[in-house]
């Protein structure tokens, strides 16, 4: 087929946000067109919105006070 090199992997990694955004746009358009899928797709967007607002508790750093 073709040889994958470091340049190829960097190119794919740089385009990942583009494909993610294009997929979300396709979902939104599909939800607008199809009333049957509108509820399911809105749940996906609601879940993504909640993930953006709430930081995970495992990455929370406890506060320290100076001695």
Kindly report, residue by residue over 27-58, the tens digit of the pLDDT.
999 999 998 899 999 999 999 888 877 665 66
Residue 11: pLDDT band (50, 70, 90) is confident
Whether 67 is in a domain gets the answer: no
| Count of domains for the chain | 1
What pLDDT, on the 0 to 100 scale, is given for residue 3? 72
Task: Report the distance separating Cα 4 and Cα 31, nearest Å.
Answer: 36
Task: Report the distance separating Cα 61 and Cα 39, nearest Å.
Answer: 36
Alpha helices in 1-67 (DSSP H): 6-33, 35-53
Whether 10 is in a domain gets the answer: no
The reported pTM is 0.60
Whether 2 is in a domain gets the answer: no
Task: Report the distance separating Cα 46 and Cα 29, nearest Å.
Answer: 16
Q: Which domain holds residue 28?
A: 21-52
| Average pLDDT of the chain, as a whole number | 83
Whether 38 is in a domain gets the answer: yes
Torsion of CA 14, 20, 22, 24, to 10 degrees: -160
Whether 41 is in a domain gets the answer: yes
Whether 45 is in a domain gets the answer: yes
């Amino acid at each position: 087929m073709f040889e994958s090199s470091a340049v190829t992997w960097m190119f794919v990694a740089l385009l990942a946000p583009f494909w993610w955004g294009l997929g979300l746009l396709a979902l939104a358009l599909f939800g607008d067109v199809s009333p049957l899928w509108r509820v399911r797709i809105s749940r996906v967007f609601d879940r993504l919105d909640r993930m953006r607002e709430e930081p995970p508790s495992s990455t929370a750093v406890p506060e320290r006070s100076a001695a």
